[in-house]
Amino acid sequence: ELKVEQNPLFLSMQEGKNYTIYCNYSTTSDRLYWYRQDPGKSLESLFVLLSNGAVKQEGRLMASLDTKARLSTLHITAAVHDLSATYFCAVRGITSGTYKYIFGTGTRLKVLA
Amino acid sequence: GAGVSQSPSNKVTEKGKDVELRCDPISGHTALYWYRQSLGQGLEFLIYFQGNSAPDKSGLPSDRFSAERTGGSVSTLTIQRTQQEDSAVYLCASSLTSGTAGEQFFGPGTRLTVL
């Protein structure tokens, strides 16, 4: 069974600091995704990681994927208040020929001014 | 182009009533997914459509929940005899399928409150 774990679940950090969110998954997956969700809003796609060693960056966020370790990281550089949101990772698995997306529990990030 | 749309945005109903939630995916997206998100929680997979067929219904929590998709486009999630524990935000997502990145695009959700 494909399971996804994120940590930490909650993260409070000062502006200007760096931090990393971790996403571990239990079985082989061919895709990994990061989403952002603002309170009361839907999910916004941030990154799609397709292969081992993939690294993508957008502004202060950088995501990477290690398929051998079944680990993805979302690194935050010099955090700003606008990054406060909940971040989800998700993996795509194939079960009986159909695709299934399993989401992590989310990391609620609060950046303090 | 237009994104995924859902209606209604909010629905308040009384326990025991039936509700229908609608999802209009991005044009050309053959895959459609329904999820449920309770307050402060992650996403719970409900059902997946590929075209009009539903190869994976494993996430439907009970037989009170059903979904259909017509014309490979609009999908309706129906909850019969609603219970208070059904209160949540119901999210719909669509994606292209094999041979692509499989990125899901989410609608704004329907917030269901069962009194």
Q: Rounded to the nearest 5 degrees, what angle is found at the Cα of A44, between the Cα atoms of B29 and A36?
A: 145
Shortest distance, CA B76 to any CA of chain A (angstroms): 19
Cα B54 from Cα B68, distance rounded (Å): 8
A89 Cα distance to chain centroid = 4
Residues in chain B with CB shorter than 8 Å from the CB of A96 are 55
pLDDT digits (tens, 9 = 90+) for B24-79: 999 989 899 999 998 878 899 899 888 888 877 888 999 999 999 988 899 999 99
Q: Which residues 6+ apart lie within 8 Å of B114 measured at CB?
A: B13, B14, B15, B82, B83, B84, B85, B86, B87
Residues in chain B with CB shorter than 8 Å from the CB of A100 are 45, 48, 56
B79 Cα distance to chain centroid = 11
pLDDT digits (tens, 9 = 90+) for A70-103: 999 999 999 999 999 999 999 988 777 777 888 9
